[in-house]
Amino acid sequence: MSALRDPRLVAVGERLREVRAVVPFLSSKGGVGKTLVSVATALALRKRGARVGLLDLDVTNPTVHVVLGIRPGSVAPREEYGVVPPEVSGVRVMSSVFYTLGRPSPLRGESISSAIRELLSITRWGPLDVLVVDTPPGMSDELLELLTYIRRFSSFLVTTPSRLSLESTARLAELVAGRVIGVVLNMAWEVPEEAVRLADRLSAPLYVIPYDSSVEVSLGNPEKLAETRFAKAVDAYVAEHVLKLLSAAQT
């Protein structure tokens, strides 16, 4: 079905009507910790009193549920004129894993686009201060759908000090220029000049998150994750930035 004739797109704006800010986390490559940063930000914002939703936009390989300790099949959205996301650690969570139950989902092209439209059009978020979106790495179909159908968003770019990661992140930045509010240098063992120049070019702050070996053993335990140096740095930098964004929007 052509996107121009797809009736589900009419519902997307209505589903997001009560969401004050949509904040996607983007990365050019996998393995940079984008999902961890996304989840840690959502948990930190909720702990600070914000109403938070978390959308796993990776319909072929979702992993948000792994970080949160959600066993596929243990919780599910409630059907009520659409679907209402379940709450996990106080955060409303939506993911394709609720329907695939962890089974492989080898979608391509138009099938991915259709799955994204379905998620966006059926999910009833209700009143939210922030909808955190964990996107797949790279210039994926999911990211292009996000750019097309959710025009009101402010994103963070997540990278590592690796030259390969930084160079590909610079290319990704061109695609979302004007909608980047921060660059997160994750698992940082140094702060390369390339990272500083990228943030300067985007007129965005550079947030340096140190490598923390305790993160791996905290996966599946949100309370334990929140106590790591990694999560505390995400709270102090990224979550604080989002709260300032919300405060500025009120004035």
What are the structural domains, with CATH classification, of the chain? 3-250 (3.40.50.300)
In the chain, alpha helices (H):
8-15, 34-47, 64-68, 97-100, 110-122, 141-149, 163-175, 193-202, 215-218, 222-226, 229-234, 240-250
Question: Residue 7: what pLDDT?
Answer: 76
Q: CA–CA separation, 102 vs 79, rounded Å?
A: 20
For residue 134, the tally of other CB atoms under 10 A from its CB is 27
Mapped to the 3 state alphabet, what secondary structure does 112-138 carry?
A: HHHHHHHHHHHECCCCEEEEEEECCCC
Q: Are 141 and 109 contacting, i.e. CB atoms less than 8 angstroms apart?
A: yes
Question: Residue 5: what pLDDT?
Answer: 67
Question: Residue 188: what pLDDT?
Answer: 95
Question: Residue 159: what pLDDT?
Answer: 97
Question: Residue 251: what pLDDT?
Answer: 66
Q: CA–CA separation, 1 vs 5, rounded Å?
A: 7
For residue 117, the tally of other CB atoms under 10 A from its CB is 21
Per-residue pLDDT of the chain (251 residues; tens, 9 = 90+): 445 567 777 788 889 999 999 999 999 999 999 999 999 999 999 999 999 999 999 888 899 999 999 999 999 999 998 999 999 999 999 999 999 988 877 767 678 878 888 888 999 999 999 999 999 888 777 777 777 777 789 999 999 999 999 999 999 999 888 899 999 999 999 999 999 999 999 999 999 999 999 999 999 999 999 999 999 999 999 999 999 999 988 76
Question: Residue 147: what pLDDT?
Answer: 76
Tell how strand 87-88 and strand 19-26 pair up. unpaired
Buried b (16+ CB within 10 A) or exposed e, 68-97: bbbebeebebeeeeebbbbebbebbbbbbb
| Amino acid type, 57 | L
Torsion of CA 89, 156, 151, 30, to 10 degrees: -80
Q: 225 Cβ partners below 8 Å, 6+ apart? A: 39, 40, 43, 67, 215, 218, 219, 231
- pTM for the model: 0.94
